[in-house]
């Protein structure tokens, strides 16, 4: 149980234990939202590009994202975390983003992957820094999980680049738009 009973439900000050609780709450909520979004993005991309030459590549990345999502779905009740209210919205938005970029072509789909993964990687890295500064041993489970997922996302990022992401027309503009959208989504999911 992660709630100290003295200040249970009554946070007069932010002591170290409440700060840690809030941090873990935020981290798991936003990571779950991120993996849910990634799962839907790949679903959208597969719907359009499933039968093309990059179908198997996207399928492989999608399977890994499904594992990530399942892990966070397990962590939510375990750490008594509140999931984000925007789950239904990310469901739809992710699918639309995936299908939309896939309709623009294989390279655009890969560019979308690269953009999203680069935001996620930075995000996981800053979470790892925060968790480790709070105590590497106490948060060992979460640190291990996020480390492994970050490594997987780095693989996805590199795979995207390898499959001609940068050959997309208007690559810079597309990447900028998608990155900004992702950062906004992360900011919102951390809070609500």
Partner 1 sequence: MPPPLPQPLRVPTTLHLTLQLAASLPTTQCGVGGVSASSAAWMNEQAAEDRHTLPEDDDSLDDANKGTEEQLKHQILEAALPFVHSRGWSQDAIAQGAESLGYSSMAHGMFPSGGVDLVNHFYAQCNTRLHESLKTTVNEMEKNPQLKKGTTTFIADAIEERLRMNIEFIDSWAEALALHASPRNAAMALRNIGTLVDHIWYHAGDRSYDFGWYTKRGILAAVYKSSELCMLQDKSEDFQDTWTFLNRRLSDVHKISKYSHDASSYTKDFSQVAKAGIFTVLNIMGMNSKSRS
Annotated binding site for Fe cation: 35, 65, 68, 117, 153, 156
> How many other CB atoms are found less than 10 A from the CB of residue 38?
27
Q: Kindly tell me which residue out of 42, 72, 95, 149 binds partner 1, with binding defined by CB under 8 A.
A: 72
Q: Does 5 bind partner 1 (CB under 8 A)?
A: yes
> How many other CB atoms are found less than 10 A from the CB of residue 5?
7
Q: Among the candidate windows 4-12, 101-109, 163-171, 183-191, which touches partner 1 by CB under 8 A? A: 4-12
Q: Kindly tell me which residue out of 47, 87, 170, 184 binds partner 1, with binding defined by CB under 8 A.
A: 87
Q: Does 12 bind partner 1 (CB under 8 A)?
A: yes
From the list 80, 67, 58, the residue with the least C-alpha distance to 35 is 67
Q: Kindly tell me which residue out of 20, 21, 32, 163 binds partner 1, with binding defined by CB under 8 A.
A: 32
Cβ atoms of 86 and 188 closer than 8 Å: yes
Q: Does 133 bind partner 1 (CB under 8 A)?
A: no
From the list 28, 2, 16, the residue with the least C-alpha distance to 145 is 28
């Amino acid at each position: 149980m992660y709630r100290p009973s003295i200040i249970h439900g009554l946070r007069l000050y932010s002591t170290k234990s409440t700060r840690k609780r809030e941090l873990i709450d935020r981290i798991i909520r936003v990571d779950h939202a991120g993996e849910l979004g990634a799962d839907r993005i790949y679903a959208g991309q597969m719907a359009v590009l499933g039968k093309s030459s990059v179908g198997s590549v996207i399928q492989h990345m999608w399977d890994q994202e499904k594992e990530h999502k399942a892990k966070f779905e397990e962590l939510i009740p375990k750490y008594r975390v509140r999931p984000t209210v925007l789950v239904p919205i990310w469901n739809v938005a992710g699918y639309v983003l995936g299908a939309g970029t896939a309709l623009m072509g294989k390279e655009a789909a890969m560019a979308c992957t690269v953009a999203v993964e680069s935001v996620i990687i930075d995000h996981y890295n800053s979470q790892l820094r925060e968790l480790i500064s709070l105590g590497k041993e106490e948060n060992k489970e979460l640190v291990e999980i996020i480390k492994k997922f970050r490594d997987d996302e780095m693989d996805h990022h590199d795979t995207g680049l390898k499959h001609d992401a940068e050959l997309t027309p208007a690559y810079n503009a597309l990447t900028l738009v998608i990155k900004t959208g992702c950062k906004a989504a992360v900011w919102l999911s951390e809070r609500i």
